[in-house]
Amino acid sequence: MEIKLDNVTTDCLNKISIKFKEGLINGVLGCTGSGKTALANIISTYQKPLDGNIEIDGIIIDSDNPMINYEILRFDIGYVRQDLEQGFFLETVFEQLFFILSQYNYKNNEKRMIDSLKMVDLSEDYLKRKIETLSSLELFKVSLACVLCLNPKILIIDDPTTFLDYKGRKTIVKLLRMFKNRYHKTIIVLSSNSDFILDICDYIYVLGNKKIVYEGEKYEVFSKNLDKYGIEKPNIIAFEDMVMKDKKIKIGYRDNINDLIKDIYFYKN
């Protein structure tokens, strides 16, 4: 399922053109206030552009077309919002999942709920849990289960690391990679955290001044001057660049700190 934007303009975005890569984890990197959430709302069809158009699975969406069935489109697009608590309006996990599935003619809803929780590494016991008792990571996982229960083709995840620690972020990386590799989902992750984007994404778009200022493979993008858009280099790349500058040793870029430690040990010996 393909999502393509052509000169899309909103109050927060200016002539954005993107063709997201199918079957990959696409990263949209931008500082706070750069328009990431506006872009997430556009590609999930919850906001209409002021100008330009969006093409989703061959269907053209523009500001002047009143004939589009958004419910059908949204069925294939799972959207996990940045403010997770806004997505919950019922007391328990069971009630929330049941409500979502009740909007469609599914059979054996309880099995579907349990399977969705297992996909995010939660047991069926969570069906009894009250939303207010969930930790930030559990809340994210349940939010993810709520969209996975409809088996969408595309997952849109808006700034998932905002309220999570390092361990929580690594858990998200593991889950989303599994969804890409095992279930062949196209995933779009929007974040201001460059370390997280480096760790998880295959291809990156950089938002700055309300437009896409860079795009490409992640190491190509992080070789650019991102400071002027309020974006810091990932810590691991900044360290590798420092080693090259000060010691004239080209380690080579790595996503994972453990791989970097192995490389340093190799050069040391």
Q: What is the pLDDT of residue 260?
A: 59
Per DSSP, helices labelled H in 54-208 are: 70-75, 93-102, 109-119, 136-148, 166-183, 194-200
Strand partners, 156: 79, 188
Q: Under CATH, which number does the domain 1-76+152-228 receive?
A: 3.40.50.300
113 within 8 A of 97, measured Cβ to Cβ: yes
What's the pTM?
0.89
State residue 27's pLDDT score. Answer: 97
Instruction: State the DSSP H helix or E strand holding residue 86, giving kind and residue range, or none if neither.
Output: none
Q: What is the pLDDT of residue 245?
A: 64
pLDDT value of position 239? 73
Domain boundaries, the chain: 1-76+152-228, 93-150, 234-269
Amino acid at 35: G
CA separation for the pair 222, 161 (Å, rounded): 19
pLDDT tens readout for residues 64-108: 667 777 777 888 999 999 888 777 999 999 999 999 998 887 777
Ranges of the chain whose pLDDT falls below 50:
none
Q: Which two tokens stand for residue 83?
A: 């403010």
